[in-house]
Amino acid sequence: MSTPEDTGRSAPPWAPAVPDPSAAALQRAVPAAERLLAERGIPEASVARLPVYLRALRALVERGVRTVSSEELAAAAGVGSAKLRRDLSHLGSYGVRGVGYEVAPLVAHVSRELGLTQEWRVVLVGVGNLGRALASHGGFAERGTVVVGLFDADPGVVGQEVAGTVVRPMADLAEVVRSEGVCIGVLATPGAGAQAACDALVAAGVTGVLTFAPAVLQVPEGVDVRKVDLASELQILAFHEQRKADAARGGPAGAGAAQPVDPVPAGLAPRATAHAPGHPRGVRRRTGVSR
Amino acid sequence: MSTPEDTGRSAPPWAPAVPDPSAAALQRAVPAAERLLAERGIPEASVARLPVYLRALRALVERGVRTVSSEELAAAAGVGSAKLRRDLSHLGSYGVRGVGYEVAPLVAHVSRELGLTQEWRVVLVGVGNLGRALASHGGFAERGTVVVGLFDADPGVVGQEVAGTVVRPMADLAEVVRSEGVCIGVLATPGAGAQAACDALVAAGVTGVLTFAPAVLQVPEGVDVRKVDLASELQILAFHEQRKADAARGGPAGAGAAQPVDPVPAGLAPRATAHAPGHPRGVRRRTGVSR
DNA sequence: TCGACTTTGTGCGTGCGTTCACAAGGCTTA
DNA sequence: TAAGCCTTGTGAACGCACGCACAAAGTCGA
């Protein structure tokens, strides 16, 4: 069976400005076994890290580096080397034992895996403060993504020009999605109108949604939703800050915090808890970002 | 080492300059957040959901509801009831068997747990498109958070008034952080200046950072970093879209999105591709893909 | 050509998070 | 008071993900 590999359009836009002798490597046929492995299941956790690896790899390309060890790349991506190796192993074997990974081929491979060999056209619904920023934020999509339409339910906003594009009414959504081949939508509406906007996107044929709205979205099977919740992120940080403050004040083991009835000193300012118990200043390390 | 020339470690800190084995060793350290949690044992995963529960609860308060069952609240928050019950159990028993949870007390309790009984003052560094939006986005912090300072390294931006606040130079950062009792900083700079800005925040005494910059940040022990990566989110969506498209086209096709063109069989919605296991009943369901 | 060295790829143990399923507990009604 | 019903809180099982540690596999120098 013919592998749907790089037919036509050869080199990706970001192909290393370098001569690139390994072009052949790109064409190299991928063993069926490997492909199946990759197809069958790349853990979601790994997929989520691929963009990070890709960014690190591109930086390396920029610097003219041709080969990296898992240790180096992992450090650049802020993860452990073992994790990185396993993640990459899900894509097939693209490293050379005793040497490391060839940057150029790896960039190409990861890009292809993420579907970045094609351009993804997206529509943005909700042109408020955030929506405007996202539309203008040239690099928010880095590469591979193009906003082909801005929409808003507010008649007052429709017609305005934002980032060189005219905001269109929701009524035009379906038509644009179809004609432009859009399958990803970005939602930047207030929480109240989020579900309605989401429904409109789905009805139009979008199957992937990135939402910034503070609302729980209900979507039909087959539609992916990724949610970025700014308020929540801050609240989570606040939780940790409070925890640190408590630890600094009282003894660990949540002296007072453990009790349901915690006499919260409402008036007490969370003063710089900069110097918790014992923080070895000056030592840098990456901080877990959980997920 | 394969790096052609890694001369001078003068490379900017944010550059994926990897060498430095000692740094790798330091990464083994246990994230501050996790360690703190261990003292009281609220799983990070649960903490991350508390804001969502809180939002749902507030909506219930708005509607005058006084009691909710775990089933109802879970549905409103988009999670399973068992998960919700366990999450809440980490905060202590605030439910009444046979009845459910009393909304008002629960709101108060969760709020207190998240540290929302006090106001968290934050500074925002990087007043570009995104920074401006965040500063203006009145409700992006919902409640409990107040932006008390905008900073930017660009002299051209300093002095401008954004959202009623004058942008100040980075030189003023430390002073503001101290005088205002800030411990959380929001980073909205380009990737290039992120590490420097982060360093400035940490040096000023900030111990919690929310970054939107596409860069891996290195921070000292005791500082929490949460990262929101817009480009990555889109790429992850793209990955899934590609997967669906491949599946729709027929069998487990190649790993590459071959066709640069013909992304979507116009008008045809890539039906079902459910990669999420079965889900209870309900026409609509929330789509997994959480972080 | 051979041996020493380097780094990948992965088997395996461990711990966390999610889910099931049910006993415990509390309200309501007779 | 006692029986019945409802929902919480949680013991236990399951599965995923992470990290260690090492054999395999390749490079480099003699």
Which stretch of A201-205, B173-177, B242-246 has the lowest confidence by average pLDDT?
Answer: B242-246
Is residue A188 within 8 A of residue A215, CB to CB? The reply is no
Contact positions of strand C to protein Cβ (< 7 A): 5-11, 16-21, 24-27
- Checking each nucleotide's C1' against the CA of A99, the nearest proves to be C7
- With a cut of 50, which residues of chain A have pLDDT below it? 1-38, 252-291
In percent, the amount of chain B with pLDDT more than 90 equals 66
pLDDT in tens, A128-175: 999 999 999 876 667 789 999 999 999 999 999 999 999 999 999 999
Q: Give pTM, 2 decimals.
A: 0.79
**CA quadruple B68, B73, B76, B80: dihedral, nearest 10:** -150
Among candidates A51, A237, A290 on the partner chain, residue whose Cβ is nearest the Cβ of B44: A290
Residue B279 CB coordination number (10 Å): 13
Q: How confident is the model at residue B246 (pLDDT cuts 50, 70, 90)?
A: confident
Among candidates B77, B234, B245 on the partner chain, residue whose Cβ is nearest the Cβ of A210: B234
Interface check for A118 against chain B (CB to CB < 8 A): the answer is yes
For residue A94, which of A12, A1, A30 has the smallest C-alpha distance? A30
In percent, the amount of chain A with pLDDT more than 70 equals 70
Compute the distance between CA of residue A249 and CA of residue B194 in angstroms, rounded to an integer.
31
Q: Report pLDDT for A251.
A: 55
Nearest-CA residue relative to C1' of C17: B45
Å from A207 to nearest chain B CA?
Answer: 7
**CA quadruple A71, A75, A81, A86: dihedral, nearest 10:** -110
Contact positions of strand D to protein Cβ (< 7 A): 5-11, 16-21, 24-27
Nearest-CA residue relative to C1' of C20: B82
Domains annotated for chain B, with CATH where assigned, are 36-113 (1.10.10.10), 120-230+283-287 (3.40.50.720)
Interface check for B59 against chain A (CB to CB < 8 A): the answer is no
Q: How confident is the model at residue B140 (pLDDT cuts 50, 70, 90)?
A: low
pLDDT in tens, B4-36: 333 333 333 333 333 333 333 333 333 433 333
Q: Report pLDDT for B15.
A: 34
Which of A212, A246, A289 would you mutate first to test chain B, the one with the most B CBs within 10 A? A289
For residue B139, which of A207, A213, A226 has the smallest C-alpha distance? A213
Helix axes B230-249, A44-62, angle to 10 degrees: 120
- B275 CB-to-strand D distance under 7 Å: no
Compute the distance between CA of residue A209 and CA of residue A53 in angstroms, rounded to an integer.
23
Q: Report pLDDT for A40.
A: 60
Whether residues A208 and B241 touch (CB distance < 8 A) is answered with yes
Nearest-CA residue relative to C1' of C24: B97
Whether residues B231 and A51 touch (CB distance < 8 A) is answered with yes
Q: What value does the mean pLDDT of chain B take?
A: 78
Q: What is the 3-state secondary structure (H, E, C) of chain B?
A: CCCCCCCCCCCCCCCCCCCCHHHHHHCCCCCHHHHHHHHHCCCHHHHHHHHHHHHHHHHHHHCCCCEECHHHHHHHHCCCHHHHHHHHHCCCCCEECCCEEEHHHHHHHHHHHCCCCCCEEEEEECCCHHHHHHHHCHHHHCCCEEEEEEEECCCCCCCCEECCEEEEEHHHHHHHHHHHCCCEEEECCCHHHHHHHHHHHHHHCCCEEEECCCCCCCEECCCEEEECCHHHHHHHHHHHHHHHHHHHHCCCCCCCCCCCCCCCCCCCCCCCCCCCCCCCCCCCECCCCCC
- B94 vs A188 pLDDT, higher one: A188
List of A residues 88-107 with CB within 7 A of strand C: 88-89, 93-101
On the question of pLDDT at B259 being above 90, the answer is no
Non-local CB neighbours of B1 within 8 Å, separated by 6+ positions: B19
Amino acid identity, position A250 = G
Q: Report pLDDT for A291.
A: 35
For residue A46, which of A87, A85, A78, A74 has the smallest C-alpha distance? A87
For residue B224, which of A230, A229, A273, A287 has the smallest C-alpha distance? A287
